[in-house]
A and B are shown apart, each in its own frame.
Chain A
Amino acid sequence: MLAIQTTLAAPLHAERSVTSRAQLARFLRGICLDIGADHYILVQPSVERGPKSVRIISSNWVFDALEDFGSEGIANLIESGNTTGVGERPQALTPETSPFLSTRERAGLVEHGHVELYCQKLSACGTMAFVLFSSHISGQIQPTALTLAHMKCCYGLAQFFKSNDNFAANDPLSERERECLLWVSEGKTTDEVALILGVSANTINSYIANAIQKFGANNRAMAIATAIRSGII
């Protein structure tokens, strides 16, 4: 009896248990309905695959649109700095006013009905992700509703990450490698880190070399910068 009551009392588009990818997709479709968006795509910047690459977690874009726009286009959009953090005023993007996209990418967006886009930055369980909402007519997405939905996306994603470790772990480093990088970022030299962790300096150097290789970085400084930027340390 109680269960029936809660279902009835719940708002129309509410999926509140987000543990599987099917539920995540349903949750995001519900949010699209709430804010007036036609399409969503949820991506994670991918450290392992190098710069300008993303990993798509969930999306209702048609395959052709994704192929035309490409994950590089999505990475360009994210890196252009036109993303909105939680609590910030949503910012609408249109293909015409996005000089950071190539002509082909812009044409691809318009052709597949992504006329107005909102790119929201999400942070859940220490991992960063981005969700892109789009509509085929401008003005259809409600910015006020989007601000609430933005927070809810963070909650949904946090629930999803808790039950799907492989997605949350956008961290290619081993615990030891992470520890080494953390100390190096605090200004410690190889010898000092060796002393702190109680292993030889050669071991420390090999941990750091591994981390540099995993990030595809040129040197230590770049590896540290990559690790800080992606929130690993």
Chain B
Amino acid sequence: MLLEVSTLTEIPGFESEQAAAHQSPWLNKPASSLLATARNCQQLAVHLNADSFHVFFLVSHGETCRLIPATDTDAPGITQISKDLTSRGSESFALAIDEATQPLWWSSDDRIRPLTEEARHWAFEISPPSGAPHGVAFPVGLEHGRSGAIVFAGDAITVDENRLCEAHARCFSLFENVALHRAPDYAKLPSLSKRELECLRLTADGLTSDDIASALGLSVHTANQYLTNSTHKLNAVNRIHAVAKALRCGLIG
């Protein structure tokens, strides 16, 4: 039996979440789960009139970079479009996202324009990647080098200038939520003690072991021991590597 709309709102959690989303479209608080974030992405997709959404992480190795699917419309599964966009043939798509700050759009039909004329002014047209004939991609770059993109696909997408900015800003907070749950490197952060973090932070500020020892009131050997421990915990080969790793995953600022 189908539930009526009025009964839907009586289900615990449903109404409150809807109401919260209505009051503050700029959801800043971390979503409770990856699926909740996927639901928020789906809402945005509906808002833009898109058929599907696809969240990707961007991983670069020197000159080359590639996309890794994080979640999409079929969460917890993965759609064919996500697979196509991350396949070997789609490297130019990954490169375009890596270089972009502004949104990217494409269409394989001249009559279909996902963005209005004003919105197109802020976005770049790229050649359609395989798998998605029409779409818009919002590149997202967070601190500590975490970057990726949220792609919306579908032939009925309509986005004007304000909606483009609104959607892109929301993509940042949605992507951050996804990164919290999915990103392999950032999810399993080693737990460093307060002292170890302090020593790493001071090393990043250019202090030597001697300086750190006198700043924290420790002996030089203790300071060195803390740094050695943190190097092991971060799975780094030396002190500089440990500082770089800690900065990149946001353990120190």
Q: Contact residues of A with B, CB < 8 Å?
A: 6, 9-11, 14, 16-17, 85-89, 123-126, 144, 147-152, 154-155, 157-159, 184-187, 189, 217-222, 224-225, 228-229, 231
Contact = CB atoms under 8 A, between A and B. Distances in A.
Interface stretch (B50-58, B72-80, B161-169, B185-193): B161-169
Which residue, of B28, B102, B117, B174, has the highest number of chain A Cβ atoms within 10 A? B102
A185 B244 CA distance: 6
Interface in B188-223: 203-208
A222 B204 contact: yes
Nearest to B168: A151
A221 B240 contact: yes
Which residue, of A85, A155, A224, has the highest number of chain B Cβ atoms within 10 A? A155
Given A148-B162, A158-B101, A187-B236, A85 B247 contact: no
Contact of A219 (B102, B165, B208): B208
A22 B241 CA distance: 44
B236 A221 contact: no
Nearest to B100: A158
A224 B168 contact: no
A14 B244 contact: no
B100 to A, nearest CB: 8
A187 B241 contact: yes
A155 B122 contact: yes
A189 B241 CA distance: 10
B172 A85 contact: yes
Contacts of B229: none
Contact of A87 (B145, B170, B207, B243): B170
B238 interface: yes
Contacts of B166: 147-148, 151
Contacts of A148: 162, 165-166, 169
B246 to A, nearest CB: 9
Interface string B36-69: 0000000000000000000000000000000000
B171 A228 contact: no
